Structure 1
Amino acid sequence: MSWAHIARKDFADAGRSLTLWVVTGLLILLVAGMTAIPSLLETEEPFGQALYFLFSAVALVIPIVGLLLGYNAVVGERESGSIRFLLGLPNTRRDVVWGKLLGRTAVVVVASVVAFAVGAGVIAWLYDGFVVSDYLALLAFTVVMGLVYLSIAIGVSASVSSRGKAIAGVLGLFVLFDVVWQSVPMGIYYLLEGSWPTLYGEGSLPAWFVLVERLSPGQALSAVAIEIVDVIDVAEIDLTAAGRVAGEVPFYLETWFAGVIVIAWIAVPIAIGYARFSRAVLN
């Protein structure tokens, strides 16, 4: 299994270059800090509030971590010339792409598990209630989110021939789908209805609006997370499809369909990246 060898090497390189330790340290500070906030604010239902703060922080930080870990994964080897060593027998270009994805996913997994273990200690120390299933579900959400954005970044990295192009591609996709995308269904709605929609809490949105929103990887992941993690929203707004859509919730707004979108965001960028990398002429 050549891809496994490349994955092990990539993970070891992350440890030697301090990448693993930097990511772990960052996530420890994030998880411990977010879980301690309800204690400082002396809020009611502190564990649920801690989950909410942690969920919000993870959804903001993990995409950036995944993109930074992945954008240079393949193209960096091409620019340094070490790609020829990686492609020595018996390794193939597919092994390189899969090995890079798995090796850097291992970085996210290890860093997340360590950080959440520290966070669990903070919660046990500060609060009485601790719902293990919700906490572990949030850990799983963190890992899957990291995998999604790693796949996007590594797909871009495998598709291009320079770091500059990789940075531009990753940044462009992030801005489009995580910053600008919300305005797409809003713009369509305004053209159709002549007014701006109420986004949350009133059950007045058409189903197509929420579906277009969920084509964003971050929105699709959040749609899954809010169904499996009992997160208290400090604004007390129903973020589920049932709380936002007028009428019956169609099948394509059910949790499983959001999961299909998440899987597509993992598989499609890697498939495109491998297809382009497999045809690339390496200098």
Structure 2
Amino acid sequence: MSTLSVAKKDFLDVRRAKVVWFVAGIYTLFMVLLFYFGQRNVPEPRVESQLFAITGIGALVIPLIALVSAYLAIAGERESGSIKYLLSLPNTRRSVVLGKFLTRSAVVTGAIVFSFALAAVMALAWYPSLEADVFAGVVALTILYALTYVAVAIGISAATASRSRAMGGAIGFFFVTNVLTMLPGFSIIAAFEYVFNSLLDLGVSQDGLEFIRALLSPTMAYTYSTALAFPDSMNGIPEDIPWYLQGEVMVVVLLAWLVVPIALGLWRFGRADLG
């Protein structure tokens, strides 16, 4: 019950955070524009095409929504000292972390569901078919992807004692998992390839390096997982990829990113000296 009480109190705070709604509004705007212009002057517009495009945009925008909504959830209260009041009630440190995660997850999920609901209305009005199976698959995978970044942000917030450190941790995580794993040539994966293949001569395949990339980046895991939602003809992922790059495995990777940061945050916050 204390977890729910923390979540209810926290919801009153996070719903007033204008920056969260601003970033979420940008995502919704992209969604509306894609579905509007996707059917303009097109003889047979396809919902699949717009959903495929929005997964690419969401791969970059959704981490921002999730991180912005959650990175100060605990660190902000620790810096202001209000965490002592929160813990003076019959709340444990565990209930604080889990309650904050529930609240921020609900806010981010609500923003995503609202965006896709608008898209569904537009699809029913302007497109020949909603293509409900693809639509539902993309929504489910996108929500799971968003929750991984909420979990990371909560974990960072629970492990840090100040706003500046939490912000630095969130920015650093986004930079490493999105920028340094995506850029060709200059990236963490290029460094791994140099060490494994040039220095150690281990002969790690490109598929193996891609698996490392997916392990290091929820964004890459999400990208591979979307193969579960789209037909083979348009998901852009080769059909002959090894089993460890298949969509089902990528869902497991995303679930790991959902659980591990929260567990680490619980461990670190439980050991923290709150003064």
TM-score (norm 1): 0.84
Q: Using a 3 Å threshold, how does the CA distance of structure 1 residues 155 and 129 change in structure 2: closer, same or farther?
A: same
- Corresponding residue SS for 1:161: coil
Cα deviations by residue, 1:93-120 (Å, 9 ceiling, x for unpaired):
1101000011010001211222211111
Q: Using a 3 Å threshold, how does the CA distance of structure 1 residues 89 and 164 change in structure 2: closer, same or farther?
A: same
28-37 vs 131-140, which deviates more? 28-37
Structure 1 residue 170 corresponds to structure 2 residue 162:
no
- How far did 1:17 drift? 4.3
Query: For 2:168 and 2:24, how far apart are their aligned partners in 1?
Result: 26
Q: Using a 3 Å threshold, how does the CA distance of structure 1 residues 229 and 108 change in structure 2: closer, same or farther?
A: farther
For residue 238 of structure 1, what is the aligned residue in structure 2?
236
CA contact (8 A) 1:71 1:153 kept: yes
Work out which of the residue numbers 256, 259, 265 in structure 2 matches 1:267: 259
- How far did 1:232 drift? 6.8
Q: Using a 3 Å threshold, how does the CA distance of structure 1 residues 230 and 70 change in structure 2: closer, same or farther?
A: farther
Query: For 1:267 and 1:43, how far apart are their aligned partners in 2?
Result: 45
Q: Using a 3 Å threshold, how does the CA distance of structure 1 residues 21 and 189 change in structure 2: closer, same or farther?
A: closer
The residue type equivalent to 2:9 in the other structure is K
**Percent sequence identity over matched residues?**
34
- How far did 1:221 drift? 1.5
Query: For 1:166 and 1:209, how far apart are their aligned partners in 2?
Result: 30
- How far did 1:14 drift? 2.3
Work out which of the residue numbers 216, 230, 245 in structure 2 matches 1:253: 245
For residue 124 of structure 2, what is the aligned residue in structure 1?
124
Q: Using a 3 Å threshold, how does the CA distance of structure 1 residues 188 and 160 change in structure 2: closer, same or farther?
A: closer
Cα deviations by residue, 1:27-51 (Å, 9 ceiling, x for unpaired):
4323212222322463754322111
Q: Using a 3 Å threshold, how does the CA distance of structure 1 residues 116 and 238 change in structure 2: closer, same or farther?
A: closer
Query: For 2:248 and 2:69, how far apart are their aligned partners in 1?
Result: 28
- Corresponding residue SS for 1:214: helix
Structure 1 residue 159 corresponds to structure 2 residue 163:
no
For residue 181 of structure 2, what is the aligned residue in structure 1?
181
Query: For 2:271 and 2:84, how far apart are their aligned partners in 1?
Result: 15
Structure 1 residue 149 corresponds to structure 2 residue 149:
yes
Query: For 2:49 and 2:248, how far apart are their aligned partners in 1?
Result: 26
- How far did 1:231 drift? 8.2
- Corresponding residue SS for 2:96: helix
The residue type equivalent to 1:224 in the other structure is S
CA contact (8 A) 1:78 1:282 kept: yes
The residue type equivalent to 1:57 in the other structure is I
The residue type equivalent to 2:236 in the other structure is D
CA contact (8 A) 2:45 2:128 kept: no
For residue 227 of structure 2, what is the aligned residue in structure 1?
226
Cα deviations by residue, 1:32-91 (Å, 9 ceiling, x for unpaired):
122223224637543221112211111111011111111101000111111112112310
For residue 7 of structure 2, what is the aligned residue in structure 1?
7
Q: Using a 3 Å threshold, how does the CA distance of structure 1 residues 52 and 253 change in structure 2: closer, same or farther?
A: closer
Query: For 2:149 and 2:72, how far apart are their aligned partners in 1?
Result: 13
Q: Using a 3 Å threshold, how does the CA distance of structure 1 residues 232 and 68 change in structure 2: closer, same or farther?
A: farther
Count of aligned pairs: 264
CA contact (8 A) 1:51 1:232 kept: no
Q: Using a 3 Å threshold, how does the CA distance of structure 1 residues 93 and 257 change in structure 2: closer, same or farther?
A: same
